[in-house]
Structure 1
Amino acid sequence: MLNPKEASNAGKISLKFFFFSLPPFSRQPNGGSMSHK
């Protein structure tokens, strides 16, 4: 099993891929602060 730090990092990475895989209409400019990097 992953230790808590690795699990947290994996969660952040999977969340990032989840947000980037959303269709464009879900990523509106005013939709959230995670859209722009």
Structure 2
Amino acid sequence: MSQGRSALPALLEAAERGAVTARSVEVIEPDLEAVSCT
């Protein structure tokens, strides 16, 4: 069971990083679209 417990923080960290990456991509994508349109 200790293995499962130690895996939880890593999973949460990965989820947090994934959320941050998704957010930065969402912010960057519209900028790229605007640049390609002009």
TM-score (norm 1): 0.55
User: % of aligned pairs identical?
Assistant: 4
Cα distance in 1 for partners of 2:24, 2:16 equals 12
> How many residues are paired up?
24
Cα distance in 2 for partners of 1:5, 1:19 equals 21
Greater helix content: 2
- The higher-RCO structure (CA 8 Å, 6+ apart) is 1
Question: What are structure 2's unaligned runs of at least 5 residues?
Answer: 1-7, 34-38
Superposed CA RMSD:
2.0
Bigger CA radius of gyration: 2
**4+ runs deviating over 6 angstroms:** none
